[in-house]
Amino acid sequence: MGPVSGVVTYVVLWWLVFFMVLPWGVSRAENPEPGHEVGAPDKPRLWLKVGVTTLVSAVLLAIVWAVIDAGWITFREPRA
């Protein structure tokens, strides 16, 4: 895997993991202020979720990179 495909794979993994982590620990505000959405989370803690997403995506990229580099999965046709 080259550096460009590594970056693309990381970005795709990052967004997938981010959308999986996003609903963790979400609780609605009991008394929302006037003008605020009723279903909006009270404390979304987005920076924590971004950090967790970054670490998990880095580990997953390392695993994907090792599997592809070892030749267990190839995207090229074998030569006869």
- Range of the structural domain that residue 14 is part of: 1-24+43-73
| 67 in a structural domain | yes
**58 in Cβ contact with 3 (< 8 Å):** no
Q: pTM (2 decimals)?
A: 0.79
| 37 in a structural domain | no
Would you place residue 59 in the very low, low, confident or very high pLDDT band (cuts 50, 70, 90)?
A: very high
Average pLDDT over residues 11-17: 97
Q: How far apart are CA 24 and CA 21, in angstroms?
A: 6
Q: Whole-number mean pLDDT of the chain? A: 88
| 1 in a structural domain | yes
| 8 in a structural domain | yes
Reading the block at residue 45, the tokens are 């803690």
| 80 in a structural domain | no
Reading the block at residue 41, the tokens are 């989370």
| 14 in a structural domain | yes
Number of domains in the chain: 1
Would you place residue 80 in the very low, low, confident or very high pLDDT band (cuts 50, 70, 90)?
A: low
**19 in Cβ contact with 59 (< 8 Å):** no
